[in-house]
Structure 1
């Protein structure tokens, strides 16, 4: 089961190393966060109107989605009524990859929906080190075989220097310049995406949802702080450059060590 907080998601999230989808099958009641903060969603979309990007191909699946959720409208209205950002992907008969045809994203994790609209999956994931070699074929195969009714979820995490839900990464040396082992618990924020995939039964489009959760490092359980510290070593050997890990990993690892000493009997 995937929970709805950073503490719940971290144990299920990949911690570096070889890229994996890491999917868990979800029930209908586990799909979307209950009781979303709709005022926060409205503020998020108002502050970032470019988060809504629609191609003509998004019309029919967007209306199907809204109807399925009991909402009047299409994709933007569906996302505004839930905690999760929502994206629609379709594939024409002569195409070998799904493409992003619609996005309603208030809280992106360092990406710009306007730049990604209409792109196929492999181009969408091009910035992710190792995606083409380790994961692209598996993702394409999964998407092609996904059946209506089935819901799958996964989680990931990033380290950020801000608690803002809409996150645009700054140069790491600048963003994390103030972070020390002593203040890392308050200065570093762990950002988790709770992602789900399901196929809409009528149009055949695939809905990709992204629920954003952010927590100060120091508010996490001791086990999760240790988990992140262990992951830092793997990140530095792989995706560290893309994630800027070199600018904060030392402080996080030393903070975790101090925390462990503080709770030691």
Structure 2
């Protein structure tokens, strides 16, 4: 495997705080961001689909038109902007569901949201790289239930209402983007288990960044929610030209997390140790 690019996205160093929606407009030409790691991601996807398909793919029967529209949109996008990445054995395999075929083209996970009586729900998903959640638990459930354990996003909260309004008002051709981050202790793409590890050493921490996009499909009206995973060990800050600032910014955001937010992220025990480690590294950088 080639050396992976590090610190591609650093949302913890920006103005958006954790547990906020933080949505911004996205240039449609930037929908997908393939990079040198593409083969590694796609090999992982193929292996997971072969060994544990029921864990990484689910779809309702009525999602098929949206799956087909998603596949067509993704193929058109890749042809226009990344034609070198149009070669995938699964693309012409019509025995596979359209969303499975689409997911085998890109490093991103693909989730199709459809409007139900209960609200916007996960109608189909090719989710190979979950960040501490299970597709089986969230599939075919509305967003308020999907987020029922996320502080500040439970049903009845302002954020929950805003998400539904955003989904309702999202227009075709005007996609949106947001980022999320968490702390894990292993560099692994398939990570359905909790990120908690109270025994790990601070230098073992890995910042897991999710680049998420929302795209409204013009024909079916479904929404394609993409999730692209980036992983950066905290040790990467030491060798990065802007590492001192980035490490300090991560420490500041960690310090700003409330108790329920820390517990949700599995950091209520590790937060202070990790912050001290990041601060120490920053101090050492200042002395150089």
**TM-score, length basis structure 1:** 0.87
State the Cα deviation string for residues 156-186 of structure 1 (Å, max 9, x = none).
10011111111133483xx23031xxxx23x
State the Cα deviation string for residues 30-67 of structure 1 (Å, max 9, x = none).
11112433323323433542210011022111011112
Between the aligned partners of 1:158 and 1:21, the Cα distance in structure 2 is 15
- 4+ residue runs of structure 1 moved beyond 6 angstroms? none
Between the aligned partners of 1:29 and 1:188, the Cα distance in structure 2 is 33
Gaps of 5+ in 2: 76-90, 238-242
Greater relative contact order structure (CA < 8 Å, 6+ sep)? 1
Between the aligned partners of 1:14 and 1:34, the Cα distance in structure 2 is 25
CA shift for structure 1 position 5:
5.8
Q: What is residue 45 of structure 2 aligned with on the other side?
A: 41
The equivalent position to 2:144 in structure 1, one of 122, 125, 149, is 122
How large is the RMSD of aligned CA atoms in angstroms? 2.0
- Mapping of 1:1-265 within 5 angstroms? 6-10=7-11, 11-12=13-14, 14-16=16-18, 19-35=19-35, 36-37=38-39, 38-49=42-53, 50-70=55-75, 71-72=91-92, 74-92=98-116, 95=117, 97-132=119-154, 133-170=157-194, 172=196, 175-179=197-201, 184-185=202-203, 187-220=204-237, 221-265=243-287
Between the aligned partners of 1:113 and 1:259, the Cα distance in structure 2 is 37
Q: Which piece of structure 1 moves more, 100-109 or 226-235?
A: 226-235
Q: What SS class does the counterpart of residue 64 from structure 2 fall into?
A: helix
- Asked whether the equivalents of residues 247 and 282 of structure 2 are also in contact (C-alpha less than 8 Å), the reply is no
The 1:256/1:152 distance shift into structure 2, 3 A limit, reads: same
Between the aligned partners of 1:47 and 1:155, the Cα distance in structure 2 is 30
The number of residue pairs the alignment matches comes to 251
Between the aligned partners of 1:8 and 1:263, the Cα distance in structure 2 is 21
